[in-house]
């Protein structure tokens, strides 16, 4: 088992202080044709509430973009439809400008607000000349229309459940598989102020489709539980979890994020909740 998470839990709450001191942020990559720094900065300023910045604008095509967008789509292909159309691919291939946008640093108390504004900034970029956007902090992308629909969904959210649904669909990869050890894990929950979730089924079960679906569903529901229904005092190591009353019981242990270095945009300072059979 990986190393036990080294941060400090704030007594009587779900808030924690990571030992790493890392505070995540959204890093958005937008491509387009003839992107203008002034227009982009104005749109980002308005949609981001004055806290998002245009960090860089490169006025040349980047030959790595097709592969980068392809990898982002592949990350969620088996679990989500990101609605990337032929027009979206044509936009990636035709780009001659690449912009990078940074959010403010995220804390647990600001994560949902910043991530909602990151969606608004994404929509603003697409309405200001950008033709495709991906998030380098969780490795996801959507087609233009899908991004705009998710931004509208977040803006119209009537409660915390609706907002969590929109933001997790936008920024989280529900299930990836480690080729090294067969662990299934989520990616991107740090952008929403929570630990990611992982299951270690063992290589002997990796090719069993029904079990794969069950574990992916378990990861998805566990992540949603962290965002919406975990107790106010947080979760303690060794607590049990079920996705339904008659479903298998899992035991939750918080571990350090060792999958990515602390310098990676994908690093989760809140760690991982590993689910092991109860």
Q: If you average pLDDT over residues 54-58, what whole number do you get? A: 98
CA separation for the pair 231, 106 (Å, rounded): 22
Residue 1 maps to a domain: no
Q: What is the pLDDT of residue 214?
A: 87
CB 270 within 8 A of CB 15: no
Q: If you average pLDDT over residues 5-25, what whole number do you get? A: 93
CB 183 within 8 A of CB 262: no
Q: What is the pLDDT of residue 145?
A: 97
Q: If you average pLDDT over residues 71-78, what whole number do you get? A: 94
Structural domain containing residue 105 = 27-169
Q: What is the pLDDT of residue 178?
A: 86
pLDDT band at 1 (very low <50, low <70, confident <90, very high): very low
Q: What is the pLDDT of residue 186?
A: 97
**CA terminus-to-terminus distance, the chain:** 16
Tell me the per-residue pLDDT of 181-223, one tens digit each, with 9 for 90 and over.
Answer: 778 999 999 999 999 999 976 555 556 677 778 888 999 999 9
The domain tally of the chain equals 2
Residue 268 maps to a domain: yes
Identify whether residues 82 and 210 lie together within a single domain: no
Identify whether residues 134 and 181 lie together within a single domain: no
Q: For the beta carbon of residue 225, count every other beta carbon within 10 angstroms.
A: 17
Identify whether residues 164 and 188 lie together within a single domain: no
* Domain end marker among 169, 189, 213: 169
- Does residue 248 have a pLDDT over 50? yes
Identify whether residues 213 and 193 lie together within a single domain: yes
Radius of gyration from C-alpha coordinates of the chain = 19
* Domain end marker among 143, 169, 195: 169
Tell me the per-residue pLDDT of 86-123, one tens digit each, with 9 for 90 and over.
Answer: 999 999 999 999 999 999 999 999 999 999 999 999 99
Identify whether residues 36 and 148 lie together within a single domain: yes
| Mean confidence (pLDDT) of the chain | 94
- Does residue 250 have a pLDDT over 70? yes
pLDDT band at 278 (very low <50, low <70, confident <90, very high): confident
Q: What is the pLDDT of residue 182?
A: 79
């Amino acid at each position: 088992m990986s190393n036990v998470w080294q941060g400090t839990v704030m007594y009587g709450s779900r808030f924690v202080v990571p030992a790493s001191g890392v505070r995540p942020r959204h890093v958005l990559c937008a491509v387009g044709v003839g992107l203008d720094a002034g227009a982009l900065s104005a749109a980002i300023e308005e949609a981001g509430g004055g806290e998002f910045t245009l960090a860089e604008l490169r006025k040349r095509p980047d030959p790595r973009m097709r592969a980068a967008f392809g990898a982002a789509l592949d990350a969620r292909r088996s679990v989500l439809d990101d609605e990337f159309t032929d027009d979206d691919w044509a936009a990636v291939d035709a780009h001659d400008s690449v912009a990078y946008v940074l959010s403010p640093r995220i804390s647990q108390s600001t994560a949902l607000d910043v991530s909602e504004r990151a969606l608004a900034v994404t929509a603003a970029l697409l309405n200001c000349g950008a033709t495709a956007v991906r998030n380098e902090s969780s490795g996801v992308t959507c087609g233009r229309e899908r991004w705009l629909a998710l931004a509208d969904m977040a803006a119209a959210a009537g409660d915390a459940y609706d907002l969590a649904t929109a933001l997790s669909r936008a920024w989280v990869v529900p299930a990836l598989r480690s080729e090294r050890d067969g662990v299934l894990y989520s990616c991107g929950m740090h952008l929403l102020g929570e630990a990611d979730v992982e299951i270690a089924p063992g290589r002997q079960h990796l090719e069993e489709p029904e079990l794969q679906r069950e574990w992916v569903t378990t990861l998805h529901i566990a992540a949603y539980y962290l965002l919406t229904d975990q107790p106010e005092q947080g979760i303690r190591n060794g607590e049990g979890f079920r996705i339904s009353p008659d479903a298998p019981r899992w035991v939750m242990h918080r571990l350090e994020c060792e999958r990515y270095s602390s310098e990676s945009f994908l690093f989760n300072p809140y760690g991982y909740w590993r689910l092991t059979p109860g």
